[in-house]
Amino acid sequence: MDYGRYNTNPSSDHYGDYTSNENDQHLTPTSYHPSSRSDTFEKGKLGLHRSPSKDSTLSSTPYTYTDEEFHKPYSHQRVQPTSPSPLVQNAADLERTETNYHDLEYADPPYPFNHNPPVDEKPNMLSRWLGKAKYPLEQRIQDKKEGIGRQKYPFVVWALTAAMAGVFINELVVNWKTQGSPVSFKPVVNPMLGPSQSALINMGARFPPCMKEVVNIPSNIRLGCLNNTANPPDSLCSLEDICGFGGFQGKVQNQWFRFITAIFLHAGIIHILLNMFAQMTLSAQIEREMGSGGFIITYFASGIFGNVLGGNFALVGVPSIGASGAIFGTLAVTWVDLFAHWKYQYRPYRRLIFMTIELLVGVAIGYIPFIDNFAHLGGFLMGLLVGITFYPVISTTGRHRLIVWSLRLIALPLSIILFVVLTRNFYSYDPYDACSGCRYLSCFPIAANNYCKGTGLIFTSN
């Protein structure tokens, strides 16, 4: 059966006509006549009028149509096909025919719906940090709202958590070998359910007498050994034995690495559970958003600086351990994110209230024994500075971009200056001279700690 041909040449007098063979029975639109009436459609719509044949069957008798909205008559004549062609061939001819219009409303999109437009190349970390990445701005905003960052998995957080869990198991084993129990109950109970104070110092806690000369804690002082369970201690060891790591080798104490090793130690089961929960949730999300490179810098800069600040102003005779300073650094990055992307946040004022409460609770926890509040505060401060520098910020205006880069140019040198000044102060001066009242930020004055006066060291003998 031949279905005829449609004339698509605009310059032709027969533009818009269908033609058919006389033997075929189908509808054929013909010329428009203003006088044609529509008896099947309402006014203003396309109407069809049929001329019935004698045998009540469809024939080649044309149907006429009327467009009652536009009364511009068109006159067309039917054109007989030159040769019979199949339907597929007609469609192909229709596609090849040049036309003067494009159906923009229903044309197929260049890429599927709900997918991002193609990007020429994948941006690297440096280009994204500089704000020159070929990453559609609208997609970046949408990813920010959905919590999608630079990478899918927080590999560094997983590695750190596994390492800290392994170190803590070793802490319990060491205490079990020396005191016969993984948790220290003598000479005093560890409220965090962990090793003794001597064991924590021996394994790398931040303890200034092992790192430098302390006026009120001379190098010849004797402390309770790792296996001591008596109060007062009946088993005493030298400071060099307690500090471990090969001793001082006849030199002045300088175990500077304790600024780093203290990050991987935890005071007890409660301490590590709280920290690892925060690390696997809060810190993991920050790594996804920043990428592993920026996250590593932020995490360790915050953790180390927190220990440096605590070494300057906390009680020198009290050991300090934990990843809290590093985690507080990642907490500070969430504050950078909140204020930098305020208009993209869901209920930003409500989030600000919850983050403030979260920060205050963390500071309150810093008054628990073996936990240094200066590590929390110092980690938070350094996290703000490093986070401003490395956190990927979305800038939609030139003014916002100028503010961001101005803060970055201030934050980066300021963080370096703080590191240099406080490290030099730790090794060269008496920190208490600079700020005698700062100790109360990490010490709650009670009789057991001599109301935060002196060194805080207990169970000693000269």
pLDDT digits (tens, 9 = 90+) for 169-190: 999 999 999 999 999 998 888 8
**What DSSP character marks residue 22?**
T
Give the least confident one: 12-21, 138-147, 158-167: 12-21
Quote the pLDDT of residue 73.
47
Q: Which residue has the tokens 């102060």?
A: 425
CB neighbours of 321 closer than 8 A, spacing ≥ 6?
200, 204, 205, 206, 262, 265, 266, 267, 370
Q: What sections of 314-447 are H helices per DSSP?
A: 324-340, 348-365, 373-390, 398-428, 431-434
- Greatest mean pLDDT among 334-338, 362-366, 452-456 lies in 334-338
Contacts of 259 (CB under 8 A, 6+ apart): 206, 304, 307, 308, 311
* Mean pLDDT of all residues in 237-244: 94
Q: Residues 12-17: what's their mean pLDDT? A: 52
Residue 139, pLDDT score: 82
Tell me, what's the pLDDT at 10? Answer: 52
Peptide bond into 232 cis (omega under 30): yes
Q: Which residues are catalytic?
A: 324, 376
pTM: 0.70
Q: How confident is the model at residue 13 (pLDDT cuts 50, 70, 90)?
A: low
Greatest mean pLDDT range, 23-27, 97-101, 448-452: 448-452
Domain 155-428+437-461: give its CATH code.
1.20.1540.10
Higher pLDDT pick, 356 / 121: 356
Higher pLDDT, 160 or 86: 160
Every domain of the chain with CATH number 1.20.1540.10 lies at: 155-428+437-461
Q: Which of 294, 303, 301 has its CA nearest to residue 416? A: 301
For residues 459 and 224, is the Cβ–Cβ distance under 8 A?
Answer: yes
| Residue position matching structure tokens 């104070």 | 197
Task: Give percent of the chain above pLDDT 70.
Answer: 69
What pLDDT is stored for residue 153 in this prediction? 94
Task: Answer with the residue of higher pLDDT: 102 or 172.
Answer: 172
